[in-house]
Amino acid sequence: MLNETFLPWLAIVLAILSFVGIFMMLSLVRKHQQQQTQLQLQLKQLQEQIQQPSEPDTLGLENDIQEVRSGAIVLGRRVQAIEAQIVELAEQQPNPDDLEPERRLYSRAVRMVELGADLDEIMRECELPRAEAELLFSLHQQKSAR
């Protein structure tokens, strides 16, 4: 019963954590995309150097290009994996609209307790089970006593 009063708060905390996680994933994707762009630029520069016949060390440049290509491929795979994680997090995130009616119901019940409504009135108006209404009463009385 006590858990049911904290369910809306738990859902809100989970939603906030999901937003933070998505934000972090997006920043990682952005960082990896920048690195991939830099690697592609380096690849282009190396390809231009290979095409110049005056370079005596074309074998070393070809090896460098191969390393850059390998790095770009690995980075591309990491970006795809992060994008998949973002999609998964977005699908797992609870819909705040689903939580809103319950939160309003409990807020109304708390206001009624604060205004001095009796237990039966709160149960009837807010459609709460007796145990939940009694819990709200006892919590409110503890706050008032302090």
- Spatial separation of the C-alpha atoms in residues 125 and 133, rounded to whole Å: 11
Reply yes or no on whether the pLDDT at 44 is more than 60: yes
Confidence (pLDDT) at 5: 74
Confidence of residue 60 (pLDDT cuts 50, 70, 90): confident
Confidence (pLDDT) at 37: 94
Q: Hey, what's the torsion of the CAs at 69, 75, 78, 82, to 10 degrees? A: -140
Number of H helices, E strands in the chain: 5, 0
Reply yes or no on whether the pLDDT at 83 is more than 80: yes
Alpha-carbon torsion 31, 34, 36, 39, what sign?
negative
Confidence (pLDDT) at 26: 92
- Predicted TM-score (pTM) of the model is 0.33
- Spatial separation of the C-alpha atoms in residues 75 and 82, rounded to whole Å: 11
Q: Where are the domains of the chain?
A: 2-92, 96-145
Which residue is listed with tokens 């997006």? 26
Reply yes or no on whether the pLDDT at 86 is more than 60: yes
Reply yes or no on whether the pLDDT at 56 is more than 90: no
Lowest average pLDDT, out of 6-10, 62-66, 72-76, 115-119, goes to 6-10
Confidence (pLDDT) at 143: 65
- Spatial separation of the C-alpha atoms in residues 18 and 88, rounded to whole Å: 11
- Spatial separation of the C-alpha atoms in residues 109 and 122, rounded to whole Å: 6
- Spatial separation of the C-alpha atoms in residues 25 and 86, rounded to whole Å: 6
